Amino acid sequence: MARPRVARRLAGLALVALLASGYFVATAVEQRRMAATQLSPSAAPAAAPPRIDAARLIADVAALSAPDMEGRRTGTPGNHRAQAFILARFRELGLKPAWAGYDQKFSFEHRSIIGTVMPGRPAKTAYPDATNLAGLVRGTASPDDVLLLSAHYDHLGVKNGALYPGADDNASGVATLLQVAAYIAAHPLRHSVLFVAFDAEEQGLKGAAYFVAHPAVDLKRIRLMINLDMVSKSDTASIVASGTAFDPSLKNLVARAAGGRRLTVAFGHDRPVYAAGGVEDWTQQSDQGPFHDAGVRTLYYGVEDHADYHRPTDTADSIPRPFFSEVAELVLQTLLEADGSS
């Protein structure tokens, strides 16, 4: 009677080996695909003079990741100070409030898997004071159709006495959003542009999910949602454009926007594990996720994880400024291209 059990074990081991082999093969194939389709940096100068204020860009990151912001964890005084900073800039730029005001209040309860099994850690944490912020520049020709640019402003706060500044994650996205908003406010597009700073991304995309459930504009009128999350730090001067697997036309849009830019644009992180193996699918990893689920066309810009990711060392002084400025210009040009093609 031992032989059938041995045979079953061998068959099981063979299946595990087959699945593992397929996983590693899929990973290698996806990595080669991303390398083959990436856009290389241009050796020539950018086609147009800079439209982004590079000094203000890095100054905004430094301000949002400063010690007095306390890591901007949802509901904390530091998070409220970050809100005030962003609101002041929205008003300074003349953005129109997305609602009766610029703010969308919401509350939620975060459930921790670790807290259910580890003594001393709460299984549930209430967040009664979360806030999304949004401002609008109305379009000149098709104001009812909207391009949405977003970035989350919250981060991890202070943990065990250590400050997590969140310069790249995601003060960089907010600073880019503010610089793009400054340009668009002075040069309105054909379509309206909605600028949204989400709260509670680090708690499970809660701000984006609430916005999708209670949108400031009809979701069906959003022609493209561009989300920014970690856009300033890359040892290889490379930014990832994720979402083109769902809409291949976005690849041409990004390629046009990247023309003349001194950075590398990689396409990927938008395919499931059975197709991409160990190359992570970022579709649900940031605030574009709830919009994607709602059927909104989405594009995500972000860098690969780096040594400072979710660490106290994620500070403004470690950001490579030329690369960061190039990314901000890329984001602005992507909006301009989307406005012209929608």
Per-residue pLDDT tens for 25-36? Answer: 667 766 777 777
The answer on pLDDT for 176 being more than 70 is yes
Where residue 38 falls among pLDDT bands split at 50, 70, 90? confident
Distance CA 290, CA 196 (A): 14
Bridge partners (DSSP) of residue 125 are 110
The answer on pLDDT for 122 being more than 70 is no
Distance CA 171, CA 64 (A): 6
Percentage of the residues of the chain whose pLDDT score is greater than 90: 78
The answer on pLDDT for 20 being more than 60 is no
Pick from 134, 339, 115, 68: which is nearest to 223 by CA? 339
Distance CA 295, CA 133 (A): 22
Q: Which two tokens stand for residue 168?
A: 């790249």
The answer on pLDDT for 50 being more than 80 is yes
- Between helices 321-341 and 249-258, what is the axis angle to 10°? 130
The answer on pLDDT for 151 being more than 90 is yes
Q: Check if the beta carbon of residue 180 is closer than 8 Å to that of residue 335.
A: yes
The answer on pLDDT for 172 being more than 50 is yes
- Collapsing DSSP to helix, strand or coil, 127 comes out as strand
The answer on pLDDT for 112 being more than 70 is no
The Cα-based distances of 193 to 28, 143, 147, 250 in angstroms read 39, 9, 5, 18
Percentage of the residues of the chain whose pLDDT score is greater than 70: 85
Q: Check if the beta carbon of residue 134 is closer than 8 Å to that of residue 98.
A: yes
Give me the pLDDT at residue 26, please: 64
The answer on pLDDT for 2 being more than 50 is no
Quick one: the chain helix, strand, coil %, rounded to 5? 45, 20, 35
Superfamily of domain 20-341, CATH level 4 = Zn peptidases (3.40.630.10)
Cβ neighbours of residue 328 under 8 Å, at least 6 residues apart? 52, 54, 57, 175, 176, 179, 180, 231
Mean pLDDT throughout 174-196? 98
Dihedral angle sign, alpha carbons of residues 67, 73, 77, 83: positive
Segments making up each domain of the chain, as ranges? 20-341
Cβ neighbours of residue 14 under 8 Å, at least 6 residues apart? none
Question: 60-110: per-residue pLDDT in tens?
Answer: 999 999 999 999 999 999 999 999 999 999 999 999 999 999 999 999 998
Where residue 117 falls among pLDDT bands split at 50, 70, 90? low
The answer on pLDDT for 113 being more than 80 is no
Q: 């912001």: which residue's tokens?
A: 69
Q: Check if the beta carbon of residue 223 is closer than 8 Å to that of residue 342.
A: yes
Cβ neighbours of residue 176 under 8 Å, at least 6 residues apart? 57, 151, 228, 231, 327, 328, 331
If one compares 339 and 43, the residue with the highest pLDDT of the two is 339
Q: Mean pLDDT of all residues in the chain?
A: 91
Where residue 1 falls among pLDDT bands split at 50, 70, 90? very low
Give me the pLDDT at residue 233, please: 98
CA geometry: angle 177, 314, 268, nearest 5 deg: 60
Distance CA 242, CA 234 (A): 16
Give me the pLDDT at residue 283, please: 97
Q: Check if the beta carbon of residue 229 is closer than 8 Å to that of residue 287.
A: yes
The answer on pLDDT for 337 being more than 90 is yes
Mean pLDDT throughout 198-220? 98
